[in-house]
Structure 1
Amino acid sequence: MTRNVLFDTDPGCDDAVMLAMALGHDAVDVVGLSTVCGNSTVTNTTRNALAILDHGGFDVPVARGCERPLVDDLTTAEWIHGEGGLRGDLPDPTSEPVDQHGADFIVEQAREHGDDLTIAAVGPLTNLAIALAKEPALPEMVDDIYLMGGAAFQSGNVTPAAEANFHNDPAAASRVIQDAEAKMVGLDVTNGASPAPETIDSYGERGGGFGVVADWIGYPEAAQGVGQDRLAVHDAAVAADLVDPGVLSFEEYFCEVDTTGGPSHGAVVCDQYGVRDAEPNASVAVDMDLERFRSVFRAGVEGYAAAVDGADG
């Protein structure tokens, strides 16, 4: 059964790999992308999203979203993802974004597809927070809402406490955690979303469409972080579970996001032991089946690479 998915994204190398996986796998129908600032400016992330699609010949609407966080200053990560936010040398896109804001596009797609739609927000949550403000019934309208962000039981990756996407816009993350009834896929599992080293090596050797993905996945800084000694393609964990539900295991918890501006700004506070006696408000990913993840990863990238090579041919 094919799953209709709207990705809210900030490409970004790991976002690009995730999109390649999803676009290249028959189990997912990517119905649209909304772009947000994060790994780079929204101008760059929108350009990158269009280029990823165009290079494989995929006709998917892209809506440009928010250019800054709700409250905080924008912090980008070109030092990791490369100049313009994406490593490699993709041709400039020929397509254009739709004439609609990303937050409005999310709401429109939810109304159009209803419970046949899954929303996967894998960047800062600014667009999704605004979409929830515009349409509070959004969680009831769609099938699932996935988030790549946060860390319930792990240290952070941009501060000792906070993960990058949540730290980039803590106010938006707080609103989404409160209201979205979401599946939170955080560093607790994504730190382990590591393709086999021999798979990564083979992509550069094979060239063509695989070489495009190799440019995105071959950035050494992606393997750096607290306690990490191997490449983690964080967003890819979401795509894998969309294709093969059960790659990730979830448990229900009550969570909050720290927006106080102190040393834990943007951190997830997860009530692991129920001391607040509050009803759970998030499904937190707590484990990942690595072999199933790697199988989905390989299949999706192979599909995308074939599309790129076909478009170039």
Structure 2
Amino acid sequence: MSKRPIIIDTDPGIDDALAIAIALFSEELDVKLITTVAGNVSLDLVTENALKLLKFYEKDVPVAKGCAQPLLAEFVDASDIHGKSGMEGYDFPEPKTELLLQEHAVNAMRRVIMESDEPITIVPIAAMTNIALLFALYPEVKSNIREIVMMGGSVTRGNKGVMSEFNVATDPEAAAMVFNSGVPIVMAGLDVGWKALVMPQDSEEIKKMGKVGDMAYHLFKHYRGGSFNTGLKMYDSCAIAYLLCPELYTVEETYVGVELNGTMTTGCTVVDLKGYLKKKPNAKVCTDIDGEKFREWFKQSISRCI
């Protein structure tokens, strides 16, 4: 069976680092390109982090640097969570700079998509600024995209605003453009991330799983250290889990809109599960996850990162 070709659009980021590892070491996925976008920290830092991870994982995947700020919104990072560099808690090697492409992420994505013999899956685990610009500048790519499997949005509450999840709220205009693009979308949002937990005993097991497990453990200790003992939420890995084990999820096909004008709710993903808006479905939304099976999948996946 041939591997499924994917592009990961990311802003590493501690939980991004583990999602990227699982994808890179998977026997079912072929990571064709990693693109970066400002999010958890600045564009320069997230790009450096992506290159550090590839050096650490000993993987040669091209990296393309994308957008340094949202389309319209003011950029506000998450360094209060991920630390000043975005990946505090572990001493990574120097970045593998030779993997950095000279072309902008949007142009690199277009090239990889159009040259692929098989439709590409895009996996955004960050703000979707790059993807919105890709569709605006090069709409022809849509014909060779299998689907977008994103980590972002929320069916219920938020983690950046009252009703807004960080990745969508960072660039809500871009998210709205992507949801309205006509490309098949799977949304693995905040709600399932809250149940995708790594518990303390899991972390102790992971610590012994080679250098990637040791790295993960030390990042976990730093990442929201206050919740280390109550369960760490593996948000970004939820998107990779959907690609590899969709049976973990309960999924509803529905319409998702992005609130752009709310005085208190900008960036909210309006998930119309009851059909109030009378709009055609534009996304498959993960509404639940089997948390116990996710924990086992996550540990097994990290154990294979060798």
Taking structure 1 as the reference length, what is the TM-score of the superposition?
0.90
CA deviation string 1:244-268 (max 9, x = no partner): 2322232111111011152101001
Tell whether the 8 Å contact from 1:23 to 1:303 is kept in structure 2 after alignment.
Answer: no
Residue 187 of structure 2 is aligned to residue 184 of structure 1 = yes
CA distance in 1, matches of 2:209, 2:141: 43
**Residue 205 of structure 1, CA deviation:** 5.4
- Equivalence for 1:70: 71
Deviations 1:101-141 (A, max 9, x none): 11122222211225442110110000010011122243431
The CA distance in 1 between the partners of 2:65 and 2:138, in whole Å, is 19
Of the three residues 155, 169, 173, the one matched with 2:157 is 155
Residue 85 of structure 1 corresponds to which residue in structure 2? 86
Counterpart check, 1:169 vs 2:159? no
Asked if structure 1 preserves the Cα contact closer than 8 Å seen for 2:206 and 2:303, the reply is no
Determine which structure has greater relative contact order: mean sequence separation of CA pairs < 8 Å that are 6+ residues apart, divided by chain length. 1
Equivalent runs, 1:1-313 vs 2, <5 Å? 1=1, 2-87=3-88, 88-96=90-98, 97-113=100-116, 115-152=118-155, 154-179=156-181, 180-204=183-207, 208-221=211-224, 229-260=230-261, 262-304=263-305, 306=306
Which ranges of structure 1 fall in alignment gaps of 5 or more residues? 307-313
More deviation in 270-279 or 5-14? 270-279
Alpha-carbon distance in 2 for matches of 1:102, 1:149: 20
Identify if the C-alpha distance between structure 1 residues 301 and 262 changes in structure 2 by more than 3 Å, giving closer, same or farther: same
**Matched residue of 1:74: which SS?**
coil
Give the whole-Å Cα distance in 2 for the aligned partners of 1:229 and 1:34: 32
C-alpha spacing 1:207/1:301, structure 2 compared with 1 (3 Å): closer
- CA displacement at 1:17 relative to structure 2: 1.0
CA contact (8 A) 1:6 1:33 kept: yes
| CA shift in 2, pair 1:122/1:220, >3 Å | closer
CA distance in structure 2 between the aligned counterparts of 1:116 and 1:245, rounded to whole angstroms: 19
Q: Is contact 1:23-1:29 (8 Å) kept?
A: yes
Whichever residue aligns with residue 61 of structure 2, its letter is V
Change in 2 beyond 3 A, CA 1:223/1:266? farther
Alpha-carbon distance in 2 for matches of 1:114, 1:191? 37
Distance in 2 (alpha carbons) for counterparts of 1:303 and 1:216 = 18
Deviates more, 1:6-15 or 1:215-224: 215-224
Deviation at 1:185, TM superposition (A): 1.0
CA distance in 2, matches of 1:177, 1:17: 26
- The alignment's C-alpha RMSD in Å is 2.0
> Is contact 2:172-2:258 (8 Å) kept?
yes
Distance 1:30 1:46, change over 3 A: same
Instruction: Answer yes or no: is the 8 Å Cα contact 1:170–1:259 preserved in 2.
Output: yes
Give the TM-score, by structure 2 length.
0.92
